[in-house]
Amino acid sequence: AQSVAQPEDQVNVAEGNPLTVKCTYSVSGNPYLFWYVQYPNRGLQFLLKYITGDNLVKGSYGFEAEFNKSQTSFHLKKPSALVSDSALYFCAVEPSGSARQLTFGSGTQLTVLP
Amino acid sequence: EAGVTQFPSHSVIEKGQTVTLRCDPISGHDNLYWYRRVMGKEIKFLLHFVKESKQDESGMPNNRFLAERTGGTYSTLKVQPAELEDSGVYFCASSQDTRVGPDGSEAFFGQGTRLTVV
């Protein structure tokens, strides 16, 4: 069975500083990896995905994530944080070749301080 | 294009009562999913419809939960009778493709229904 770990419940960063939200995964075979974000009183919004190819994936709102197969990680990054990036971030994995079933991490609350 | 829509946004019911949640997927999406986040923990898969058929219901917690998708359009998730541990946020999602793959599409989520059982 697949699993996702987001080791930090809360990440605080100052506006303008780089941010990283960590994610590690465990899955049989090649993983499909996703990041979703939930803003207050909103649904989950898709940010980016890794399916195959380049290990550095670029997504919405200036976010990017790096797939590292040897470390089984898929950390979310942004070079310069904005206060409006404050939200709840979820990492998810879907085993390749399987029927659709995302396995999510427990979420990381990102707070960007002005 | 309208996104995934869920009704109601919030529901507070007493233990033992019945609640029905509704999800309207993105038009043309054959795949519809239900997920649940309980008490700030992981978002967990409940089930997957392809059109009106249940493709995978391995995540349904017990037989108090009944999901339907008559006609392959909107879906309902009924909890009867509700228990305290059913409280949480119920998300619905839809996707165009059954499998991800390099050319496949991701799942789009609704805003969720926050269910509180007291």
What digits encode the pLDDT tens for the residues B24-40?
999 999 999 999 999 87
Q: State the DSSP string of A27-43.
A: -SSSEEEEEEEE-TTS-
Q: Which residues of chain B are within 8 Å of residue A4 when distances are taken between CB atoms?
A: 42
Asked if the Cβ–Cβ distance from A100 to B35 is below 8 Å, we say no
Chain B nearest C-alpha distance from A13 (Å): 22
Longest alpha-carbon distance in chain B: 46
Chain A residues with CB-CB distance to B102 below 8 A: 51-53
pLDDT at A40 over 90: no
Q: Which of A52, A31, A44, A22 is nearest to A94 (CA)?
A: A31
| Average pLDDT of span A81-104 | 86
Per-residue pLDDT reduced to its tens digit, B86-106: 999 999 999 887 766 556 678
Residue A61, helix vs strand vs coil: helix
- Which of A49-53, A60-64, B84-88 is predicted with the least confidence, judged by mean pLDDT? A49-53
Q: Give the whole-angstrom CA distance, residue A43 versus residue B71.
A: 25
Query: Any idea what DSSP says for residue B99?
Result: S
Q: What are the chain A neighbours of B91 within 8 Å (beta carbons)?
A: 43-44
